[in-house]
Amino acid sequence: MMEHHFTVDVEEYFHPTAMAPRYPMERWDSLERRSPGVIARVLSFLDERNVKGTFFVLGWLAEREPEMVRDIALQGHEIASHGWEHELVGRLGPAGFRESIRRSKAVLEDLTGVTVRGYRAPSFSIVPGLEWAFDTLLEEGYDYDASLFPVTQHPTYGYPAADRHPFFVDRPGGSLVEIPSTTAKVLGQILPAAGGAYFRLLPMALIRAGLRQAAAGGWPGTFYIHPWELDIWVPDVHAPWLQMVRTFAGQRRTWPRLKRLHTEFRFGRVDATVDDMRAARGTV
C-alpha cells in the first residue's frame, strides 16, 4: 500500500491569514497558546498507530514552546519550517522571506540538533511570480518545498501549472524537490483534496479520491492539518462569518474523520519521499 505524507502545520489559532487583522503580531505574546496540548494528543494518536509524520513548525512558536518541538522530534517525526511569523511570501518580499526562513531554520535546528530540510509557506503563498523564493530556499540550505497547491479555486493561493505529483524544481543554484498538496480530478476539474478546511467541511470522499488517485498514479499524496482544527475550543473574536467558518467550523468532526482516514491509508514522513526521488535521480 502506498505511504502518503501526514503533515501538520504547527501554529496557533491566531496565526491563520484570515485571522491576521484581528490578531496583530504585537498581541501574540499576550494570547493563550493552545498548540502544545493539541500536539501532545496528536503525538499520542500517531504513536498508537506507529505513524511518523512531518511537522512544519512556525519559528515564533518554536522559540516559545521549545519542549513541544523537542517532543515531536524525539518521537521520530520530521521537523520542517513554516517560516518565522506566518506572513505571506509576497508580503515579506525577498529580503523578509530570506530572514524568515533563515531564522526559523536556525531555531528549529538549535532545538533538535537535526538539519531542517523542508519548508511550507504560510497559506501556500508561493504563487506564480514568486519563483525567486525557490532560489532563496536553495541558498539557505533547504532541500525541498511543500508550498505549491495546483488549484485555481482559492482566491489567495494556487499554482495551477504545478504537477499534481512530487517533482524537481530545477534552478540555476540547484534542484529543489517540490511536494505539492493533494488534489482530486472530479468531472474534469482539479479540486483541492489535501486537508484543512477541505477535510473539515467537505465530504471525506473528496480526500479519499485525492489520495487514491495519487496512489494509482504511483506517487504519495500529501495530507495536512493544523492544531487549531483539532481543538474544539473557538476563540471569542469578532470576525466576519465566512472567515470564522473557513477557520473553525467542523472542528468536532476532525478527530473522528482523522481516525477513519488512518484506518484506510498509510502515512509517513515527507523526507522519505525526497530521499527516494534524489536517489532515483542520483543527486543524494
- 126-153, pLDDT tens digit by residue? 999 999 999 999 999 999 999 999 999 8
For the domain covering 3-281, report its CATH number: 3.20.20.370
What pTM does this model have?
0.97
What per-residue confidence (pLDDT) applies to 115?
Answer: 98
Average pLDDT, integer, range 252-276: 97
Least confident stretch, 86-90, 186-190, 224-228? 186-190
Least confident of 14-18, 155-159, 241-245, 257-261: 241-245
- Compute the average pLDDT of residues 224-246: 89
When the pLDDT of each residue in the chain is averaged and rounded to a whole number, the result is 96
Answer whether residue 284 shows pLDDT above 70.
no
Provide mean pLDDT across the span 209-233: 97
Residue 267: phi and psi, rounded to 5, are -135, 155
Q: Where are the domains of the chain?
A: 3-281
Give residue-wise pLDDT tens across range 7-57.
Answer: 999 999 999 998 989 999 999 999 999 999 999 999 999 999 999 999 999
pLDDT for position 244: 85
Q: In this prediction, what percent of the chain has a pLDDT beyond 90?
A: 88
Q: What is the pLDDT of residues 55-97, one digit of tens each?
A: 999 999 999 999 999 999 999 999 999 999 999 999 999 999 9
Average pLDDT over residues 217-222: 98
Whether pLDDT at 121 is above 90:
yes
Q: Determine the pLDDT at residue 104.
A: 98
pLDDT at site 231? 95
243 pLDDT tier (thresholds 50, 70, 90)? confident
